[in-house]
Amino acid sequence: MNGKGMIGDPLTRVDGPLKVMGRATYAAEFEVPGVAYGVMVRSTIPSGTIASIDSTVARRMPGVLLVMTHENAPRLPAKGRAAVKPPAGREMSLLQDAAVRYNGEPIAVVVAATLEQATDAAAHLDIRYRAADAVLDFDQAKKDPKPAKMLRGPAEKKWGDAQSALERADVKVDAVYTTPMEHHNPMEPHGTIAEWKGSELTLYDATQYVSGAKETVAKTLGIPPEKVRVVCPFVGGGFGCKGSAWSHVTLAAMAARKAGRPVKLVLERPQMYGPVGGRPQTEQHIVLGAMRDGRIVALRHEVLSHTSVFEDFTEPSTQPTRALYAWPNGDTVQKLAKMNVGTPTFQRAPGEATGTFAIESAIDELAYELGMDPLELRLRNHADVEPSSGKPWSSKKLRECYEDGARRFGWSRRSARPGSMRDGRWLVGWGVATATYPAHRMEAKAVAIMNADGTFTVRSGTQDLGTGTYTICSQIAAETLGVPVQKVRFELGDTRFPKAPVSGGSMTAASVGPAVRAACLALREKIDAGGKAPLQAEGSAKPPAEDEEKKTHAERSFGALFGEVRVDPELGILRVPRVVATYSVGRILNAKTAASQFQGGIVWGLGMALMEESILDRRTGRIVNANLAEYHVPVNADIGSIEVAWVDENDTGFNDIGARGIGEIGITGVAGMVANAVFHATGKRVRSLPITLDKLL
Amino acid sequence: MRSFEYTSARSVDEALAGIGPDAKFLAGGTNLVDLMKGDVEKPARLVDISALPLTDIAATPAGGVRIGAMVRNSDCASHPLIRERYPLLSQALLAGASPQLRNMASTGGNLMQRTRCYYFYDTAFDRCNKRVPGSGCAALEGYNRIHAILGASNQCVATHPSDMAVALAALDAMVEVLGRSGARRIPATQFHRLPGDTPHLDTNIEPDELIVAVELPPNGFAQRSHYLKVRDRASYAFALVSVAAALEMDGNTVRTARIAMGGVAHKPWRAMEAESALVGRRLDAAAIERAADASVSGARPLHDNAFKVALAKRSVARALEVAGGAA
Amino acid sequence: MSRDSHDPPSEARRRFVLGTGALGASLGAIDALGAPKDAGNNALAPEATHRVRFRLNGETRELALDPRVTLLDALRERLRMTGTKKGCDRGQCGACTVLVDGRRVNSCLTLAVTLEGKEVTTIEGLSRGGAAHPAQVAFLERDAFQCGYCTPGQIMSCVALVDEYRHGMPSYVSRDVRPGAAIALTDDEIRERMSGNICRCGAYVNIVAAVRDVAGGGKA
The answer to whether residue C85 sits within a structural domain is yes
Please state, as a whole number, how many other Cβ atoms lie within 10 Å of the Cβ of residue B39.
16
**A245-255, pLDDT tens digit by residue?**
999 999 999 99
- C160 located within any domain: yes
Interface probe, candidates A571, A606, A638, chain B, greatest B C-beta count within 10 A:
A571
Query: Given an 8 Å threshold on Cβ–Cβ distance, is B100 in contact with C178?
Result: no
- Check pLDDT > 90 for residue A114: yes
The pLDDT of residue A295 is above 70 = yes
Residue C116 sits in the same domain as residue C143: no
The minimum CA-CA distance between A97 and chain C, rounded to whole Å, is 30
- A506 contact partners, CB below 8 Å, separation of at least 6: A437, A439, A440, A660, A661, A662, A663, A664, A665
Residues C190, C160 within the same domain:
yes
C13 CA: distance to closest CA in chain B (Å):
28
- pLDDT higher than 80, residue C11: no
Q: Nearest CB to B103: which of C105, C171, C179?
A: C105
On whether both C152 and C118 belong to a single domain, the answer is no
CB contact under 8 A, C45 and A17: no
Q: What is the structure's pLDDT at A151?
A: 82
| Residues A645, C1: C-beta atoms closer than 8 Å | yes
Task: Decide: A29 and A91 in contact? Cβ < 8 Å.
Answer: no
Is residue B140 in a domain?
no
Query: Could you list the residue range(s) of the whole structural domain that residue C86 is in?
Result: 50-125
The predicted-structure confidence for A377-428, as pLDDT tens digits, reads as follows 999 999 999 999 999 999 999 999 999 999 999 999 999 999 999 999 999 9
Number of H helices, E strands in chain C: 6, 6
User: Which residues of B fall below an 8 Å CB-CB distance to C?
Assistant: 1, 3-6, 8, 26, 29-30, 33-34, 37-38, 46, 48, 50, 74, 77-78, 80, 83-84, 87, 90-91, 94-95, 97-101, 103-104, 222, 229, 234-236
Nearest CA in chain A to B307: A694
Give the model confidence (pLDDT) of A2-60 as tens digits: 456 789 999 999 999 999 999 999 999 999 999 999 999 999 999 999 999 999 999 99
Summary mean pLDDT of chain B: 97
Q: What is the 3-state secondary structure (H, E, C) of chain B?
A: CCCCEEEECCCHHHHHHHCCCCEEEECCCCCHHHHHHCCCCCCCEEEECCCCCCCCEEECCCCCEEEECCCEHHHHHHCHHHHHHCHHHHHHHHHCCCHHHHHHCEHHHHHHCCCCCHHHHCCCCCCECCCCCCCCEHHHHCCCCCCCCCCCECCECCCCCCCHHHHHHHCCCEEEEEECCEEEEEEHHHCECCCCCCCCCCECCCCCCEEEEEEECCCCCCCCEEEEEECCCCCCCCCCEEEEEEEEEECCEEEEEEEEEECCCCCCEECHHHHHHHCCCECCHHHHHHHHHHHCCCCCCCCCCCHHHHHHHHHHHHHHHHHCCCC
Q: Do B37 and C103 touch (CB under 8 A)?
A: no
Give the whole-number percent of chain C exceeding pLDDT 70: 77
Instruction: Identify whether C32 is part of a domain.
Output: no
State yes or no: cis peptide before B218, omega within 30 of 0: no
- Residue A3: what pLDDT? 54
> CA angle at residue A58 from A56 to A60, to 5 degrees?
75
> Cβ contacts (< 8 Å) between A46 and chain B: which residues?
none
For residue A298, the one-letter residue type is A
From the list B5, B48, B87, the residue facing C114 with the nearest CB is: B48
Nearest CA in chain C to B6: C67
- C95 and C138 co-located in one domain: no
Domain containing residue C80: CATH number: 3.10.20.30
- Cβ–Cβ of B103/C172 closer than 8 Å? no
Q: Comparing C-alpha atoms, which of B305, B313, B237 is closest to residue B269?
A: B313
Q: Is C43's pLDDT higher than 50?
A: no
- Please give the tally of structural domains in chain C: 2
Contacts of B234 in chain C (CB under 8 A): 191-192, 195
CA distance A520 to A525: 9
β-strand pairing of B23-26 with A171-179: unpaired
Q: Which uninterrupted H or E stretch holds A408?
A: helix A398-409
In B, which residues are within 8 Å of A694 by CB distance? 145, 307, 311
Q: What is the pLDDT of residue B240?
A: 98
Annotation marks residue A376 as catalytic:
no
Question: What is the residue type of A198?
Answer: G
Residues of chain A with pLDDT > 90, as a percent, come to: 95
What pLDDT does residue A546 have?
63
**A433 to each of A560, A672, C84, how far by Cα in Å?**
6, 6, 40
Q: Between chains, do A639 and C2 touch, taking CB under 8 Å as contact?
A: no
Whether residue C46 lies within 8 A of chain A, CB to CB, comes out as yes
Alpha carbon of C24: minimum distance to chain A alpha carbons (Å): 7
Q: What is the pLDDT of residue A110?
A: 98
Which residues span the domain enclosing B247? 225-324
Number of domains forming the structure of chain B: 2
Q: Is the pLDDT at A143 greater than 50, yes or no? A: yes
The pLDDT of residue C45: 52
Q: Is the pLDDT of residue C220 over 70?
A: no
Flag whether B113 is in a domain.
no
Mutate to test the interface with B, among A127, A570, A695 (most CBs of B within 10 A): A570
> Hey, is the C-beta of A12 within 8 angstroms of any chain B C-beta?
no
Interface test with B, best of A42, A620, A632 (most B CBs within 10 A): A620
Nearest to A600 among C2, C90, C201 (CB): C201
- B301: CATH: 3.30.390.50
Give the CATH number of the domain where residue B26 resides: 3.30.43.10
Distance from C-alpha of A697 to C-alpha of B310, rounded to nearest angstrom: 8
Give the pLDDT confidence score for residue A219 in this predicted structure: 98
**CA torsion angle A195 A199 A200 A204 (round to 10):** 20
Residue C61, in any domain of the structure: yes
> Any chain C CB within 8 A of the CB of A600?
yes
Q: Does C154 touch chain B (CB under 8 A)?
A: no
Of C6, C10, C204, the CB nearest to A636: C204
Question: pTM for the whole thing?
Answer: 0.96
Q: What residues contact residue A445 under an 8 Å CB cut-off, 6+ apart?
A: A460, A461, A498, A499, A500, A515, A519, A538, A539, A540
Task: Compare all CA atoms of chain C with the CA of A464 and give the residue at the minimum distance.
Answer: C147
The continuous run of DSSP H or E covering A401 comes out as helix A398-409
Contacts of A263 in chain C (CB under 8 A): none
User: Residue A604 and residue A612: Cα distance in Å, rounded?
Assistant: 9
CA distance A195 to chain B (A): 27
Mean pLDDT in residue range C2-23: 38
Q: Is residue C172 domain-resident?
A: yes
Note the pLDDT tens digit of each residue in C60-110. Answer: 999 999 999 999 999 999 999 999 999 999 999 999 999 999 999 999 999
Q: Can you say how many angstroms the Cα of residue B231 is from the centroid of all Cα atoms in its chain?
A: 16
Chain B residues touching residue C179 (CB < 8 angstroms): 80, 83-84
Residue A530 contacts by C-beta under 8 Å, 6 or more apart in sequence? none
Residue of B76, B98, B101 for testing the chain C interface, max C β-carbons within 10 Å? B98
Question: What is the pLDDT, as a whole number, of residue C39?
Answer: 40
Listed residues C125, C146, C168: the one ending a domain: C125
Listing DSSP states for A435-472 in one string gives: EEEE-----EEEEEEE-TTS-EEEE-B---SSS-HHHH
Cβ neighbours of A142 (radius 10 Å): 18
User: Mean pLDDT for chain C?
Assistant: 83
Model pLDDT, residue C130: 75
Distance from the A416 Cα atom to the nearest Cα atom in chain C, whole angstroms? 29
The pLDDT tens digits of the residues spanning A176-214 come to: 999 999 999 999 999 999 999 999 999 999 999 999 999
- The residue ranking higher by pLDDT, C129 or B280, is B280
- For C175, the closest chain B residue by CA position comes to B91
C164: in domain = yes
Asked if A529 is an interface residue toward chain C (Cβ–Cβ < 8 A), one would say no
Contacts of A44 in chain B (CB under 8 A): 124
Query: Which of A117, A466, A588 shows the shortest C-beta gap to C2?
Result: A588
Check whether C44 has a pLDDT greater than 70.
Answer: no
CA dihedral A472, A478, A479, A482 (to 10 degrees): 180
C164–chain B Cβ distance below 8 A for any pair = yes
Whether B243 is covered by a domain: the verdict is yes
Residue of chain C with shortest Cα separation from A487: C22
Task: State which residue of chain C sits closest to B36, comparing Cα positions.
Answer: C68
Residue B268 is assigned to a structural domain of this protein: yes
pLDDT band at C26 (very low <50, low <70, confident <90, very high): very low
On average, the pLDDT of chain A sits at: 96
